[in-house]
Amino acid sequence: MRSLNLDDVVRLALAENVSPSGYTMDCFVTSEVAHNDAIAKCRPGTGKDGTGAYIGVGPCQNLTYIGALRPRLAVICDSRLDNLIEHLMFKLLIERAGDPLDYLLLLFSRRLEEPPPVLDEPEDLVAAFERGTPDPGTYRDNVEWLRSEAKRRWAFDDGQLDRLSYLYGQFFARQLAITAVNKECADALGSPTLRDVILARNSYRRNFHFLTDADRFAYVRRMCLEDRIIPMLGNFSSARSIKLINELLDGFGERADTVYLSNIEDYVVSRYLLDSHGIAREPNPDGLLEGAYADGYARFVERLSALRTAPDAFLIRFIFQGERWGRTVGEDLEPTVSRLETFLAAYRRGARSLLDTCL
């Protein structure tokens, strides 16, 4: 039987053309600025080039994890068709770009007349980018090229092409001030901009963003050119999705040694619900695993434990602040890095709250 590849997975998702979850909000870019802290705890040792497979969720932050962790295969499993379309857009632009600045200029349809100076620091990259000018003509040309390539390579239909145009248009309209969600919701939540994400550093002043280092960008670009970054339409609580991920891993002869979940667990146990204005409701703010929440989370953990992973696989999670044992636990979107087996053991000991699995 022939192994699955990127084109197979994309065409399967586009044929379904439905999202298997109720998550309908836009999510253009990541809202997490603490990726540097997570990466610092689990990046490969000196001299390693390729560390198995990476499994992740969400938009652009995956490219930063891929550039820093250097997996040989990356599978991005997300419940929104827009996320898959956006990753294919990123892929096309990265393959076309010669370097990080070139990619940013393509992503935001900017023209830069003068050659940039040496880009030693993240701030240099952003400053060089901002010397460019958003250009409507370049934008129109890029949209036409993206639509043509998506139709040629993956047979996008008219509706999917329109979603591609919408997503690319959001980047042109909002530039580096783009946030995970719409501006009104982002203002209510205090969401960081993409500029904030690119410039973020950890407490040791380290920055691991894939655009702030030529080697990290080159690694991501190579993975794109080799079709080893595979976005798929799926859900970590779905047995079918886990089966598809495992088939991909098996076909490439890999096991996942990094699983990145962002904060999807907050949605699994309904800690809060968003609408276009911000947080609409908080059904289960402390992440208690009771009743239907317990059943849903148990199913999620069961699926996670069925992934084809390495024995020492890392698990990266982001958790919103909550209350537990009469204390405030964590900060907003704080990363937790552990061995996957450590997390599973903590849950199986009888965790009564999502927060019990984080410390």
The pLDDT score that the predictor gives to residue 2 is 67
pLDDT in tens, 151-200: 999 999 999 999 999 999 999 999 999 999 888 888 888 899 999 999 99
Residues 6+ apart with CB under 8 A from 300: 236, 237, 265, 268
Whether residue 118 has pLDDT greater than 50: yes
Residue in this structure with the two tokens 């934008």, named with its chain if needed:
139
Instruction: Grade residue 23 by pLDDT with cuts at 50, 70 and 90.
Output: low
pLDDT in tens, 284-326: 999 999 999 999 999 999 999 999 999 999 999 998 888 888 8
Residue in this structure with the two tokens 């998506």, named with its chain if needed:
150
**What b/e string do you get for 155-188 counting C-beta neighbours within 10 Å, with b at 16 or more?**
ebeeebbebbbebbeebbebbbebbbbbeebbeb
Do residues 175 and 29 make contact, with C-beta atoms less than 8 angstroms apart? Answer: no
The pLDDT score that the predictor gives to residue 17 is 60
Whether residue 142 has pLDDT greater than 90: yes
Structure tokens of 7? 């084109």
Nearest to 254 by CA among 304, 303, 310, 305: 310
Whether residue 93 has pLDDT greater than 80: yes
Whether residue 78 has pLDDT greater than 60: yes
Strands 278-281 and 309-319: unpaired
The pLDDT score that the predictor gives to residue 321 is 87
pLDDT in tens, 235-288: 999 999 999 999 999 999 999 999 999 999 999 999 998 888 888 899 999 999
Instruction: Grade residue 18 by pLDDT with cuts at 50, 70 and 90.
Output: low
Instruction: Grade residue 24 by pLDDT with cuts at 50, 70 and 90.
Output: low
Helix axes 122-130, 100-107, angle to 10 degrees: 40
What gap in Å lies between CA 222 and CA 208, rounded to an integer? Answer: 18
The pLDDT score that the predictor gives to residue 21 is 46
Q: Is the pTM of this model over 0.85?
A: yes
**Domains in the chain, please, with CATH?**
6-82+179-357 (3.40.50)
Which region among 73-87, 156-170, 200-214, 328-342 has the lowest average model confidence (pLDDT)? 328-342
pLDDT in tens, 193-222: 999 999 999 999 999 999 999 999 999 999
Structure tokens of 355? 């927060």
Residues 6+ apart with CB under 8 A from 199: 122, 123, 126, 207
The pLDDT score that the predictor gives to residue 224 is 98
- What secondary structure letter does DSSP report for 132? S
Structure tokens of 179? 């946030």
The pLDDT score that the predictor gives to residue 48 is 66
Nearest to 274 by CA among 320, 310, 236: 320
Whether residue 1 has pLDDT greater than 70: no
**Averaged pLDDT of the chain:** 93
